[in-house]
Structure 1
Amino acid sequence: MTYSNSRKTFPAASAVIALTAGLGAPAFAQTTDAQRIAELEARVAALEESGNEPLSFGLGPNTTLEFYGYFKTDFIYDFDYNLGNTTFGLVSLGVLNDDDERIVSRDGGFTGTVNQTRLGFRTTTQTALGELGTQVELDFYGADGAFSDGEAEPRLRHATATLGGFRVGKYWTTFMPLSSYPSTLDFQGVVGIPFARQEQLRYTHEFGNGFVGEVAIEDHNTGSEDPVFVAAMAYDTDPLLLRLSGITGSIDDETGDDENFYGVNVSTSAQLWQGATFDAAYTYGEGIASYLVFLGDDVDANGDLIEVESAYAGLTQEVGEKWTFRGIYGVRENKSGAVGDTERLRSVHLNAEYQLLENATLGVEYFNGEREEFGGDTYDTDRIQTSFQINF
């Protein structure tokens, strides 16, 4: 939907107004019926086409403002542990607090949330140096305990400016394989995925023939006082995406010394057959647990970097014009830890989405998660989630 200096009306009404005005104009009287019909058809087509555009405003001769986002409500039933608004509680299954009570209760239950609802805007300005863009985006996971049972409060997700190949501000970490990220109804996502939004200065360069390179200086995800360096190279074509990224920097080992951490990620997204997409990634490193979904400690009790390995694979199949089905498996393993610490996490997501309207979808998802401790104890849980989403 596009707004300019005049208010937009419904396409059908606009066509009637245009027809009425046109028939009364002297100039129209001198044209043929075929010319009048052709002009009116062109006006109606233009109005109908503009109805599918994002909501945008002209702020001047060189700047446009676009609003976007979606409303999303989820209804969830936990069969085992009561995870809450998201599956983030998976990492705390079986863990006791200082009062010897389980951090995540084992009574299951029903909950609903609108916290994933998202609002954002973008601006585009034509300048002598090229196109200057900005983006600000919010969701409602800002409250304490927002990922378990917290109320809806605004939270900043992105705030960036772009010019040419440069991006500055808060955005997805360059280490993250965003283009191969599988979709879940659950906000938390799949075990094994690099995930963070960081303040950064990034430069992206397209070499041609599908090759794209990126380099960035970023803030550390846990507040290290030293910068983080990230680089990535991708081969991006229509049927196949291959991407390799690396991250390095230093963090405090809590004994007063700095430890150099590193991580590598290789990811892919491929079109297998009609309507089918395969996404997968593998991540390995030392001291990078805080850059993975479900977070974790980067160093152990001895001040040594924790070695971590993770992977995920997902298959998406579109059926007709309305249905989309997905199956996604993720796993993550810490190579060292004390008895009772998390050694291994696993997740399975099976979901289906139905496009109810052009901008509205209904979805249902089954989740199974498992946490294994150093020492041998294992905990698992199941949940069903349904979602309704309206994009705008």
Structure 2
Amino acid sequence: MKKIYLLGASLLLLFQFDAYAQEETDPDEVSLKIISTRKPGLKIVEDFNETTGQHYRDPKAPRFLLYDQKREIAFGVGGFVRVRTAYDFGGSPTSDFGFVPATIPVPTDLLTKNRFNMDASKSTLFFKLLGNNDKVGQFQAYVAGRFSGAGGAFVLTDAYVTLLGFTVGRTWSTFNDLAAVPPTIDFQGPNGAAEMRTTQIRYTGDFGKGFSYAVAAEMPNTTGTYAPTQTVETTQRIPDIPVYVQYNWGEKKASHVRAAGVMRNMNYRDVINNTTETETSFGMQLSTNVELTSFMEFYGQITYGKGIAQYINDLSGRGLSLIQNPSKPGKMQAQEALGWFAQIQFNLSKDVYATAGYSQAEVFPDQLTVPDSNYRYGQYIVGNVFYNLTTDFKVGVEYLWGDRVNIDGASASANRVQTLIQFNF
């Protein structure tokens, strides 16, 4: 908790320093005021709302902002309290992060196949400073985290600055299409979706007529399945390079389609020849969110490549980016992987919406390098209903089904029913 107080105090000091700087150049006294983000007509409020994250889980603008009398700079503290209640039956994933089919025990563990759980650790807090400057235009500083560490400790999720088209710091990867990820109570979401946060330097621009693009250098995160007598893990030396091109259309440009790619250069140590090797790999993605009618929206995404398991929800952190090369002792190869989902949202009324969808994540291992009991693919089915009681208060209920299939064909499934209560502040 001391870290949160220190973080808040530091950002408030930054805001006060900016106000002090204006006093030095402006004879008029600078004062700070509190304004509600529900008040229409103020550009700083509109800018604050437009620069919130595109992911459905990203916190929205807080109820109140501090701003200067010129209405050029605003500072807000916000987030949400999120309480989830869940019951697993007929099988249960072992992950505490979300409903992760890759963690379903095969065969089903009779001791844990039924489980009741309540969780508030995904509650989130953020600090945001947004302003406009004659030299750099609009700029933003953003820090966020949630209480999901050991014993409810605060864990940093985002810390970045944006200006002049650049984003510098930790946030969602440029390879991710956040607006194409559908809403779920499950904190992981579709198992085949590409979602990953990392530290980066990104540039975003547009071509006009609805077209935009981005390119970045990102901190690599690689996990592999090593054979200690042949290969071992080493430090990474080359950043990942993701790019995308996107086209938006429709009312308020709410519909879009995006094509993305990423190049990776993954390092490992060849123990046999005592050399450090680099395995180059590529990934590609096509994603969309389309307003088919005022009643119905479609979310879809397909991601394919080699060495990109770290980007796909179900495959991340499981040693599936690099595997042994069976024909070359001491060498490794990039693991082929695929993830995809399709989901429909039904807007039943102004405040009630429901979604239903299917997702799959899979790898294509060489039979000579991976045991038959290892993961081959996972499936994920979701159906949910959300109700916005007020602008800030949301409830929901959700059913999930998933299964894990191993290389030898052995499989096990799991079911979950869960509810959500979330209050934004």
Q: CA-to-partner distance for each residue in 1:209-263, whole Å, 9 max, x for gaps?
A: 0000101010012373311111100001235311001001211245342100210
CA distance in 1, matches of 2:33, 2:215: 43
| Number of residue pairs the alignment of both structures matches | 341
State the partner residue of 1:334: 363
Q: Cα offset for 1:57?
A: 0.9
Query: Residues 7 and 168 of structure 1: is their aligned pair in 2 closer, same or farther, counting only changes over 3 Å?
Result: closer
What are the within-5 Å matches in structure 2 for residues 97-176 of structure 1?
106-127=112-133, 128-143=135-150, 151-176=151-176
CA distance in 2, matches of 1:333, 1:253: 24
Aligned partners of 1:177 and 1:243 also within 8 Å: yes
State the partner residue of 2:83: 73
Q: 1:348 aligns with which of 351, 365, 381?
A: 381
Aligned partners of 2:62 and 2:78 also within 8 Å: no
> Aligned to 2:292, what secondary structure does the other structure show?
strand
State the partner residue of 1:87: 98
1:359 is matched by which residue type in structure 2?
D
State the partner residue of 1:147: none
What are the within-5 Å matches in structure 2 for residues 1-392 of structure 1?
5=32, 54-58=63-67, 62-83=72-93, 85-94=96-105, 106-127=112-133, 128-143=135-150, 151-222=151-222, 224-237=236-249, 238=253, 240-255=255-270, 256-294=276-314, 295=316, 296=318, 297-302=320-325, 303-336=332-365, 337-392=370-425
Aligned partners of 1:331 and 1:344 also within 8 Å: yes
Q: Cα offset for 1:109?
A: 1.3
Greater Cα radius of gyration, structure 1 or 2: 1
C-alpha RMSD over aligned residues: 2.7
Query: Residues 350 and 8 of structure 1: is their aligned pair in 2 closer, same or farther, counting only changes over 3 Å?
Result: closer
Aligned partners of 2:182 and 2:299 also within 8 Å: yes
Q: Cα offset for 1:90?
A: 2.5
Aligned partners of 1:193 and 1:311 also within 8 Å: yes
State the partner residue of 2:56: none
Q: Cα offset for 1:177?
A: 1.2
Sequence identity percentage: 26
1:214 is matched by which residue type in structure 2?
A
> Aligned to 2:91, what secondary structure does the other structure show?
coil
CA distance in 1, matches of 2:98, 2:140: 34
State the partner residue of 2:231: none
CA distance in 1, matches of 2:152, 2:101: 21
Q: Cα offset for 1:95?
A: 5.5
Gaps of 5+ in 1: 12-43, 144-150
1:87 is matched by which residue type in structure 2?
G
Q: Cα offset for 1:82?
A: 3.7
Q: Cα offset for 1:87?
A: 3.2
Aligned partners of 1:351 and 1:364 also within 8 Å: yes
1:301 is matched by which residue type in structure 2?
Q
CA distance in 2, matches of 1:366, 1:335: 29
Q: Cα offset for 1:6?
A: 5.8
Query: Residues 107 and 95 of structure 1: is their aligned pair in 2 closer, same or farther, counting only changes over 3 Å?
Result: closer
Aligned partners of 2:304 and 2:339 also within 8 Å: yes
CA distance in 2, matches of 1:106, 1:299: 31
Aligned partners of 1:253 and 1:299 also within 8 Å: no
CA distance in 1, matches of 2:378, 2:407: 12
> Aligned to 1:179, what secondary structure does the other structure show?
helix
State the partner residue of 1:15: none
CA distance in 2, matches of 1:45, 1:197: 33
CA distance in 1, matches of 2:34, 2:260: 47
Gaps of 5+ in 2: 1-30, 46-60, 223-234, 271-275, 326-331
Aligned partners of 1:217 and 1:227 also within 8 Å: yes
Query: Residues 193 and 8 of structure 1: is their aligned pair in 2 closer, same or farther, counting only changes over 3 Å?
Result: closer
Normalised by the size of structure 2, how large is the TM-score? 0.75
State the partner residue of 1:148: none
Quick check: 199-208 or 255-264, which moved more?
255-264
Q: Cα offset for 1:8?
A: 7.9
> Aligned to 1:187, what secondary structure does the other structure show?
coil
Aligned partners of 1:202 and 1:214 also within 8 Å: yes
Query: Residues 254 and 185 of structure 1: is their aligned pair in 2 closer, same or farther, counting only changes over 3 Å?
Result: farther
Q: Cα offset for 1:299?
A: 1.3
CA distance in 1, matches of 2:413, 2:285: 27
Query: Residues 265 and 300 of structure 1: is their aligned pair in 2 closer, same or farther, counting only changes over 3 Å?
Result: same
CA distance in 1, matches of 2:415, 2:123: 24
Q: Cα offset for 1:53?
A: 7.1
CA distance in 1, matches of 2:98, 2:157: 19
Q: Cα offset for 1:273?
A: 1.3
Q: Cα offset for 1:342?
A: 0.7
CA distance in 1, matches of 2:127, 2:216: 24
Q: Cα offset for 1:46?
A: 9.3
Aligned partners of 2:35 and 2:65 also within 8 Å: no
CA distance in 1, matches of 2:128, 2:68: 12
CA distance in 1, matches of 2:345, 2:91: 28
